[in-house]
Amino acid sequence: MSNAKVLFISQEITPYLPETEISNISRYLPQGIQELGKEIRTFMPRFGKINERRHQLHEVIRLSGMNLIINDADHPLIIKVASLQQARMQVYFIDNEDYFHRKAIFHDENNKFFKDNDERMIFFARGVLETVKKLRWAPDIIHCHGWFTSLIPLYLKKAFKEDPLFQDSKIVYSLYDNDFNSSLDTKFREKLHLEGVEKEDVEMLDKPDFHNISKMALNQCDGIIIGTKNINPKIYEYAKSLNKPLLENQEEETFVNEYSNFYDELLK
């Protein structure tokens, strides 16, 4: 489907953040998919390390202004955008002063996992989906990159399942070699609750670590891509055990075409 609409949601994209396997794929995949004739939108968090002046981020007033309630507190949702001129594409940024203005991504200066990474995940996931609704743009494929996006499949399949904008969307989740050794807040399950999300949907988050949030995302997605060669073997075996469409790791020269073909197969 050359005219399909593909929503890319990533925890990191170069040049806004340093080059990694995720940030490189998240930068060049949307461009390549767009060049193949598909329509795209791309989202990432506006982490404090991102230089707004250098990358010419600016607020999109018509999309900003909503408040998201997380753990009984209101958090303003700010949407910013920047253009990658050479790629002829835009990147939307989910921003909030409480969650994303610190000059670090997931760890503090002592390399300790931020205690509110769970709430930051929730805010980002809900922020992306609410913004896409405001755009009135119905994606055929929603492709999530990185553990920070792992709530997207859950929310789409449960809390947003009746929304006509997302009813026909197929969700792809990419696995990467980006494990973290810490655990998210023990109240994570209660905080992420939205209408439609049942206790059994999140029971594995009794221990909210990398393994379990990855498994939860894999349970809810429609297709799986192995984004890097050296992913956690236990997660890889779990992904294969689900018997869902799975695309193995691809070479740099061919990955755009292979991903596009994978999307098309999911939409048949």
The residue among 165, 162, 159 whose CA lies nearest residue 220 is 159
Give the separation between CA 174 and CA 222, rounded to whole angstroms. 11
- Low-confidence stretches of the chain (pLDDT < 70) are 1
Residue ranges of domains in the chain, CATH in brackets: 5-267 (3.40.50.2000)
* Claim: this prediction has a pTM higher than 0.85: yes
56: left (phi over 0), alpha (psi -120 to 50) or beta: left
Length of the chain, please? 268
pLDDT at 1: 66
| The two three-digit tokens of residue 218, written as one number | 């894999």
Q: Which of 225, 267, 241 is nearest to 26 (CA)?
A: 225
By CB neighbour count within 10 A (0-12 exposed, 13-18 middle, 19+ buried), where does 86 fall?
exposed
**Which pLDDT score is estimated for 193?**
87
- What pLDDT, on a 0 to 100 scale, did the predictor assign at position 17? 97
Q: What are phi and psi of 214, to 5 degrees?
A: -65, -45
Helix H or strand E encompassing 21: helix 21-35
Residue in the structure block whose two tokens are 């999911």 = 266
Name the DSSP class of 112. P
Per-residue pLDDT, 69? 95
